[in-house]
Amino acid sequence: MQRVRVKICGIREAEHAHAAAHAGADALGFVFYAPSVRAITPRRCADICRDLPPFVTRVALFVNPEADEVRQVIDEAGCQTLQFHGTEAPEFCAQFGLPWVKAIGMTDDIDLAAESLRYKAAQALLLDSYDPIHHGGTGRTFDWTLAHNGLRKPLILAGGLTASNVGDAIRTVQPYAVDISGGVEIEKGVKSTQKIQQFLHEVMATYAIR
Ligand SMILES: O=C(O)c1ccccc1NCC(=O)[C@H](O)[C@H](O)COP(=O)(O)O
């Protein structure tokens, strides 16, 4: 089994950013979408990231932002990757000169091959549970058998993952990475250091040599 990377999303406290980094997280996600309970300001994101160790990618999340807002976040928050959860066109996502990920809301009739062609300039597709109102961070799983990995593009699996189901999810989908938010929280928007550590432990256990 190949190593599976981990992104912990919706970070709002330095304690959780450090806990995730030290437990082996590859990426941290910061939500720049005001209606979300996990929303953060660029300034606060920069403060949290200041003392983080190297080699942990900071990812900025948006839902149908204005281009100027993305530029302001890039300048102030210091994120290195962008993640788009709305109906952004590929040309919009590609204009900022940073690696970017497109989230796809999974439904029974989604054509992943077509999405991957449409977003061919994306560094990866993030498959998440479809929700027309919240756009992400729903805490709900989708039918993982829809997430076939013949896309010739790194696939990030999200939506309702927890320490209990991530092993099955990885064995079913064999993703490049997994992404979690609600599954490492004690209440909506409040992360738990213990849950972050437990999740990373479970992911690593799926590919550990026994
Ligand atoms: O987390 C949010 O509140 C959010 C709001 C709007 C768009 C995206 C959002 N989060 C995106 C993420 O990357 C989550 O980690 C992903 O959707 C999985 O969330 P969960 O099902 O809670 O693990």
For residue 44, give its domain range: 5-207
Q: For residue 169, what is the domain's CATH number? A: 3.20.20.70
Please tell me the pTM assigned to this model.
0.96
What ipTM goes with this model?
0.97
Query: Number of structural domains, the chain?
Result: 1
Local confidence pLDDT in tens for the 210 residues of the chain: 789 999 999 999 999 999 999 999 999 999 999 999 999 999 999 999 999 999 999 999 999 999 999 999 999 999 999 999 999 999 999 999 999 999 999 998 999 999 999 999 999 999 999 998 888 889 999 999 999 756 778 999 999 999 999 999 999 999 999 999 999 999 999 999 999 999 999 999 998 765
Ligand 1 binding pocket, CB closer than 6 Å: 9-10, 29, 31, 33, 36, 38, 61, 63, 85, 128, 134-139, 158-161, 179-183
Catalytic residues: 9, 128
State which ligand 1 atom lies nearest to the alpha carbon of 184: 23
DSSP strand E in 48-180: where?
57-62, 81-84, 100-106, 124-129, 155-157, 177-180
Find the 3 Cα to ligand 1 centroid distance in Å: 23
